[in-house]
Amino acid sequence: MISNLKNKLMQKKDILRYIVVFFITLTLFLTAIWLSSFINNYKLNDIKDIQNKISLDISSSETQFQLLSSMSCKDVSASTLSDELNNLAEKITYSEQNIKNQDQVTDLKKYYSLLEIKDYLLMQKIQQKCNMPVIPIFYFYTTRDNCSNCVKQSAVLSQLRAKYPELRVYSFDYNLDLSALDTLKKIFKVDDKKLPAIYMDDKLYTGFQSEEDILKILPELAKYEKARLDAEAKAASSTNKSSTSTDR
Amino acid sequence: MTLAQIMQIILELFFYCFSFLSLYVQIYFLVVFLEKHKEIKIHRSPIKLFENEEDYQGVTITVPAYNEGLNVKKTVESLLKLNYPKNKLFLILVDDGSKDNTWEVMQEYKDHPQIKIFKKENGGKYTAQNLGLENTQTPFLGCLDSDSEVDPESLNRIMNYFADPAVMAVAPTIVSRNEENIVQRAQKTDYELQIYVKKMLAFVNAIHVTPGPFSIFRKSVFEKIGPYRHAHQTEDQEIAMRMQQNHMRIEHAPDAYVYTNTPKTVKALYKQRTRWIYGFIRNALDYKHLVFKKKYGNIGFITLPSGFISVMSVLFLFLFTGYNLYNYVKQKTLIISAVGLNMSTTSFKIDPFFINTSAILFISIIVYSSVFFSLFMGHKILHGKAKFNLNIIWFFIVYSIVAPFWLLKAVINAIRNYESSWTKEIDSR
């Protein structure tokens, strides 16, 4: 009788333990998921901040351009803006692969594509006016259909972009639902069956283009690089001179 | 959505399920530990059970030996050195049809007052154990594999638990004796982990194996539920499950040490573990009627399900990691084929943005921390203090690489033989 009672008590305690363990496990589990989504949201907000800043910069430049129709070319620096766009591109690509909240990432991507187009339009104006060494290329890729050539192409373009600051790579996800992008696709006659596609030097190139291919199509890049290196060497020697002169 | 994306989603869903269940089991042990850790009795010095030698209970230990001519003497000598009254301790040596000099070695003990020796035709370890059982006159009995040795104090420490009349069997703590290479060092950690798990299972009366080396039983156990049975080469699991089915309490003595030789090579370890896991699966299937039945208690709620969960989780984790690794290598190969290994142009920036903050990572960290806790507690129960040692790293490396293969092999064998035994049964109808 007593042992029976004891057995029953044990069972109640055992069942209670299973329930307690379930809730502890659930709490830990949900905490992990919540923490991850909290940090990821923070990251997406970081992207939004960068986008807002770029958007502001572009509008400000545009306005300046319109106000002064003859903006001093000295004030324009192409490199700073493109650096930020690159930084943004990296973060968006990373978020696309690692953050599960795809709706929000897609929105960020759309905004980014729009900023790229705006940046291009502004750059075109500045280039005409100030004769700046800038070469734009448009790159269309897809994240669907296991596009292995797109992975390769993206790697080649990032490398080129790092080597030649004069190169401005505007990359677009072909499948993004954005009317401005649709217009761009129509203008360049980009076909979704021939991705990756690159529009450069007023022509559309489809399929994977190696670094050598691109350098062949855009010989100016090498020229610009040479000019840049020469200027750097000059600057270095002049600072050397000035530093030796101050030493005296 | 592409096929790859669907695949990824399915894999992640499975990941969440398996990691939740694995974490559940670890937290269960943790909760039991927090509840009961004050009841873990560890004696570090010899104990005296009774003032009077006559109060000690008689114990018979069977040593089944098959081709153990090299080891059997050491095993017997270790038993004779047990700190237990000589007139209360008896040994039965059984030569199970060895082809080597085992029988000649046993001859040395033929006139020993505590020892009886038997020779029989080869029939498997359980038949030798049953022969010992038939010739046992004492109220307690056990068995010691001839590749193991006992600590002189272990019998006293085990017998201490039988002061509680409800305790029907006591499992010892098996310690890996040698650590000559990485494989054996890895196993040392595994055995330490088992100490913790076993003790926690004992607290909730859910032990599913009374290990061949030196588990001690009341003789009445076999009188009530019958002798050892042929059970997928893991008779020490079958008897424990049969005891659980009959509501018999199994305890664990964390300070009763049995030293065993562990496999030296990966191949030998693989073979041993395949046999163990195969035996677990088959025995668990034979006793599946215990699962989730209130009247059989925790064995059906935690031990058997958690065994299946760990088999499935390790296999899944292997698949999951393999799939991700394959994708990663594929991506990297593509990139290297496009731009070469020239990484100097992409400057390395430290931006906290790019630190992985996925839920999968956080959950993995929690699960691994809980496993680490178990490892440390096992180490602490054995050595008295928790200390990090390199064996833990070897454990993770060796087991995460090899365990999936023995698990897979065991599962395949179990499915194949389960089916064939089933068709046999149908044919015989």
Task: For the beta carbon of residue A113, count every other beta carbon within 10 angstroms.
Answer: 20
Give me Rg for the CA atoms of chain B.
24
CA distance A95 to A43: 8
* Closest chain A CA to residue B298: A14
Question: B58: how many CB neighbours lie within 10 A of its CB?
Answer: 17
* pLDDT tens figures, B373-400: 888 888 888 888 777 778 888 888 888 8
Phi, psi of B141 (to 5 degrees): -155, 160
Single pTM value for the model: 0.84
Mean pLDDT value across residues A44-52 = 84
ipTM of the complex: 0.85
- Residue B170's pLDDT is 94
Query: Does any CB of chain B come closer than 8 Å to the CB of residue A9?
Result: no
> Closest partner residue to A25 among B20, B345, B353, by Cβ?
B20
CA atoms B63, B69, B71, B76: torsion sign: positive
Domain locations along chain A: 1-68+76-131, 133-233
How far apart are the CA of B284 and the nearest CA of chain A, in angstroms?
21
Q: What's the mean pLDDT in B100-104?
A: 86
Torsions phi, psi for B256 (to 5 deg): -100, 100
pLDDT value at B280 more than 80:
yes
Inform me whether the pLDDT recorded for A6 exceeds 70. Answer: no
pLDDT band at A63 (very low <50, low <70, confident <90, very high): confident
Chain A residues in contact with B362 by the CB 8 A cut-off are 32-33, 35-36
With beta carbons under 8 A apart, name residues in chain B contacting A24.
27, 31
Task: Give the best residue of B301, B353, B354, B360 to mutate against chain A (max A CB count within 10 A).
Answer: B353
Average pLDDT over residues B340-346: 57
Query: Which region among A71-75, B9-13, B211-215, B228-232 has the lowest average model confidence (pLDDT)?
Result: A71-75
Contact B313, B21 (CB under 8 A): yes
Q: Is residue A1 scored above 60 in pLDDT? A: no
Any idea which residue has 């992207």 for tokens?
A47
Residues sharing a CB contact under 8 Å with residue B283, sequence separation 6 or more, in sequence order: B231, B232, B234, B237, B238, B241
- Please give the sequence-ordered ranges of beta strands (E in DSSP) within A142-217, or none if there are none: 167-173, 197-200, 203-206
Q: So where are chain B's domains?
A: 1-47+153-337+358-419
Nearest chain A Cα distance for residue B158, angstroms? 24
Residues of A in contact with B294 (CB under 8 A): 11
DSSP 3-state of B122: coil
Give the three-class secondary structure for B399.
helix
Across the interface, whether the CB atoms of A25 and B359 are under 8 A apart is answered no
A63 touches chain B (CB under 8 A): no
Shortest CA distance from A208: residue in chain B: B338
Please tell me if residue A162 touches chain B, with a CB cutoff of 8 Å. yes
The segment with the largest mean pLDDT, out of A218-227, A232-241, B135-144, is B135-144
Shortest distance between the Cα of A210 and any Cα of chain B, in A, equals: 7
Say if domain A133-233 classifies as CATH 3.40.30.10.
yes
Q: Which of B11, B357, B363, B368 best probes binding to A when mutated, by most A CB atoms within 10 angstroms?
A: B357
Q: Read off the tokens for B68.
A: 């153990």
Q: How confident is the model at residue A247 (pLDDT cuts 50, 70, 90)?
A: very low
Which residues in chain A touch residue B31, judged by CB atoms under 8 angstroms apart? 17, 20-21, 24
Which chain A residue shows the shortest CA-CA distance from B21? A25
Q: Which site among B17, B24, B32, B167 would you substitute to test the A interface, given the most A Cβ atoms closer than 10 Å to its Cβ?
A: B24
The pLDDT of residue A14 is: 87
Q: Give me the phi and psi of A58, to 5 degrees please.
A: -65, -50
